[in-house]
Amino acid sequence: MSRVLITRKTGQVGYELERSLQGLGEIIAVDRSQMNLANLNQVHDVIRHIKPTLIINPAAYTAVDKAESEPELALRINGEAPAVMAEEAKKLGAALIHYSTGYVFDGSKDGSYTESDPTCPVNVYGSSKLSGEQAIAAAGIPHLILRTSSVYSTHGKNFLLTMLHLANEREELSIVSDQYGAPTWSRTIADTTAHIVAQSLAATDQRTWWEERSGLYHLMAQRTTSRFDFTDAIMAHPLIAKKALLKPIPARDYPLPAKWPSNSVLSSRRPMDTFVNYHSGRTP
């Protein structure tokens, strides 16, 4: 019987995970009052108390610009808390699924990033997430680090909802046209995670299953677009009543506290080959 601890039940991915994982064991999703990732002792205690067989960590400090003025907090939540999760998972013999970001790269590559590309974060958020990745990879536990980018959903804070909100308020919007990503629905991330978890549970030898697959995977939709073109597509949707006039601008004309990589497109080839085109002979 699997016992899955989800470290946050709100958030774009956390919210969807609780739904997607139904039927895959006992699902325990906690909120910030139960487990605050900034409180490392509490992270230790909650995991020891719940004794999960699998920890899934969608919680993170995701405010990219704010992180520049709160580097210690960002590092604690994105770097040190995942390290504690890995440490506790090791003691319990549990597995850990963690999410990371394409902002571990500097964005200078021409084309999509693969898992073997060298990392080089250019902002505090990216550095803090890389630190979390490294701690988990070094722990020697069964783990998956799923890097994603440009996540959107119908709730929470994301580019899609911000554009809809701004279009209601303004007649014209200036949108950066030289930053590229591939907008990825949080439900796709959660459903893919559930698909992977189901495969692991269906394996006759779960230990070998994790040994053979542990590591880093890029998980992102495969339709590259700029922020401007994404906004244009949003405004063109027939259900959008109030449309704003869009003006493309270069990122240099929209200065922000953090440096934002111009390319965060990730190739999802590896998870496709490993999990999607995988045939176990059993229904996952």
Ligand X SMILES: NC(=O)c1ccc[n+]([C@@H]2O[C@H](COP(=O)([O-])OP(=O)(O)OC[C@H]3O[C@@H](n4cnc5c(N)ncnc54)[C@H](OP(=O)(O)O)[C@@H]3O)[C@@H](O)[C@H]2O)c1
- Record the tokens describing residue 68, joined without a space: 């520049």
Residue (100 or 200) nearer to ligand X, CB: 100
Instruction: Name the DSSP letter for residue 144.
Output: E
Q: How far is the CB of 47 from ligand X (least distance, A)?
A: 13
Instruction: Report how far residue 34's alpha carbon sits from residue 278's, in angstroms, rounded to the nearest whole number.
Output: 37
Q: Does 54 bind ligand X (CB under 6 A)?
A: no
Range in contact with ligand X (rule: CB under 6 A) among 10-18, 223-231, 232-240, 241-249: 10-18
CA nearest neighbour of 194 among 13, 12, 30: 13
- Spot the catalytic one: 125, 152, 180, 217: 125
Range in contact with ligand X (rule: CB under 6 A) among 60-68, 84-92, 243-251, 273-281: 60-68
CA-CA distances (angstroms) from residue 67 to 54, 62, 98, 155, 259?
29, 8, 20, 22, 11
Range in contact with ligand X (rule: CB under 6 A) among 34-42, 112-120, 171-179, 243-251: 34-42
User: Which of the residues 183 through 202 are near ligand X (CB under 6 A)?
Assistant: 186
Q: Which of 27, 46, 50, 60 binds ligand X (CB under 6 A)?
A: 60
Q: Does 61 bind ligand X (CB under 6 A)?
A: yes
Q: Which residue is nearest to ligand X (CB)?
A: 11
Instruction: Report how far residue 146's alpha carbon sits from residue 132's, in angstroms, rounded to the nearest whole number.
Output: 12
Residues with Cβ within 8 Å of residue 61, at least 6 apart in sequence: 37, 67, 70, 73, 74, 77, 78, 125, 128
Range in contact with ligand X (rule: CB under 6 A) among 8-16, 107-115, 169-177, 273-281: 8-16
Q: Does 230 bind ligand X (CB under 6 A)?
A: no
Q: Does 12 bind ligand X (CB under 6 A)?
A: yes
Q: Which of 2, 10, 134, 174 binds ligand X (CB under 6 A)?
A: 10
125 tagged catalytic: yes
Q: Does 134 bind ligand X (CB under 6 A)?
A: no
CA nearest neighbour of 12 among 54, 58, 55: 58
Q: At what angle do helices 159-169 and 227-236 cross, to 10 degrees?
A: 60
Q: In what order do the strands lie in the sheet with 143-148?
A: 26-29, 3-6, 54-57, 95-101, 143-148, 215-218
3 state DSSP class of 91: helix
Q: How far is the CB of 168 from ligand X (least distance, A)?
A: 21
User: Which of the residues 139 through 168 are near ligand X (CB under 6 A)?
Assistant: 148-151, 156
The type of residue at 169 is E
Q: Which of 4, 5, 6, 11 binds ligand X (CB under 6 A)?
A: 11
Rg over alpha carbons for the chain, rounded to the nearest Å, is 19
Q: How far is the CB of 187 from ligand X (least distance, A)?
A: 11
Catalytic residues: 125
Site of interaction with ligand X (CB under 6 A): 8, 10-14, 32, 36-38, 58-62, 77, 99, 101, 129, 148-151, 156, 186
